[in-house]
Amino acid sequence: MNRLAPEIVHTPVLLDEVLAALRPRPGGWYVDCTLGGGGHAAAILEASTPGGKLLGIDADPEAVRIAQDRLHPFGEAAIIVNDNFEHLEEICAQHNFKPVDGILFDLGVSSFQLAESGRGFSIRHDGPLDMRFSPQHTLTAADVVNDFSEPRLAEILWKYGEEPKSRRIARAIVQSRPLATTGQLAKVIEKAVFGARGRIHPATRAFQAIRIVVNRELECLERALKQAIGLLRREGRLAVISFHSLEDRLVKQFMALESAGCLCPPEVVRCVCGHTPSLGLVTRKVIKPSAAEVAANPRSRSARMRVAERL
């Protein structure tokens, strides 16, 4: 596996907006659930000095290595864990790290993951059909592409990739089996949707869908968000950066639900649900990168951040 310098491959998105949202202060405790190259974590630690601490989590052992190098100057103030954030509550309990003042999720694929052809995340770099964030996962992209039935493939491409040509692509994949590399898969998809070239590569949505299934991304996110509420101290902030509509919709619905009072249907005259809000929305509108950031870092174009506060 290539050892990539974090300063070359990692540009944290919405960095100023994240700091404004989490309001790191000296002595504060923070959790970065998607450590990546450690860019957000380093900025949070700098802002919370002296006395601040950060617990960083990442399922990718290579991300952990890069973050350890970057956060080494902060010493014991940075606690780094190689695990999936779906175990957020358990991880914090193991390190006696609660309650906390802020929790950050920066979802999606990191720049260095896209840059490594051996990971299978990138359409541009031919590599094995892997797409796992963690090598401990048993399911790979090759399993999905070569073993799943045509109807199931079509459903995955439609549900998780919002791919309008899901059936046509699924049929082409099944007819072209076995497939061993990302380059082979991309060519099959490109041929299946001929004439569909646009701003993004025609295989982008399919790659996204397969990656989501391999890593159980939406399921893990939903579980982690529920755990995050109980870890935040009063007025602690939860900030979530997403890069596609499925993630953003899940986060939006979660925050709306947890910030609502009564959840009874309209026909119920008197509340019987007993639900009380646990979060307050800090911003009702989604936070997007500035034009200057998009120009400097085109990958940030699709970033969307939502922020809520513990009541």
CATH number where 184 lies: 1.10.150.170
Is residue 206 located within the same domain as residue 221? no
Domain boundary among 168, 193, 215: 215
Arithmetic mean of pLDDT over the chain: 90
Structural domain of residue 163, as residue ranges?
119-215
- The verdict on residue 303 lying in a domain is yes
Same domain for 195 and 259, yes or no, is: no
pLDDT attached to residue 8: 44
For the chain, percent of residues with pLDDT exceeding 70: 92
Position 223 in a domain: yes
For residue 43, the domain's CATH number is: 3.40.50.150
Is residue 201 domain-shared with residue 240, that is, in the same domain? no
- Number of structural domains (the chain) is 2
Whether 62 and 196 share a structural domain: no
Same domain, 160 and 280: no
Find the mean pLDDT for residues 135-148: 94
1 within domain boundaries: no
Which pLDDT value is given to residue 1?
38
Domain boundary pick from 157, 184, 215: 215
Q: Cα dihedral sign for 120, 43, 233, 31?
A: positive
Q: Is 71 contained in some domain?
A: yes
Taking a C-beta distance cutoff of 8 angstroms, is the pair 88, 33 a contact? Answer: yes
If asked whether residues 63 and 101 sit together in one domain, one would say: yes
Q: Do 275 and 228 fall within a single domain?
A: yes
- Identify whether residues 223 and 272 lie together within a single domain: yes
pLDDT at residue 243, as a whole number? 92
Give the span between the Cα atoms of 79 and 256, in whole angstroms: 31
- Stretch 233-253: mean pLDDT, rounded? 96
Q: Is the pLDDT of residue 5 over 70?
A: no
In-domain check, residue 41: yes
Domain membership of residue 160 (yes or no) is yes
- Tokens representing 298 are 């085109």
Q: What is the pLDDT of residues 81-92, one digit of tens each?
A: 999 999 999 999
pTM of the model: 0.90
- Do 157 and 14 lie in one domain? The reply is no
288 and 239, same domain (yes or no):
yes
Among the three residues 168, 187, 215, which one is the final residue of a domain in this structure? 215
CA-closest candidate to residue 131, choices 111, 139, 205: 139
| 65 and 130 co-located in one domain | no
Claim to verify: residue 86 and residue 233 sit in the same structural domain = yes
- Band (pLDDT 50/70/90 cuts) for residue 271 is confident
Strands annotated E in the chain: 29-32, 53-58, 78-82, 100-106, 232-242, 279-281, 304-310
pLDDT of residue 137: 85
- Tell me: pLDDT of 188 over 60: yes
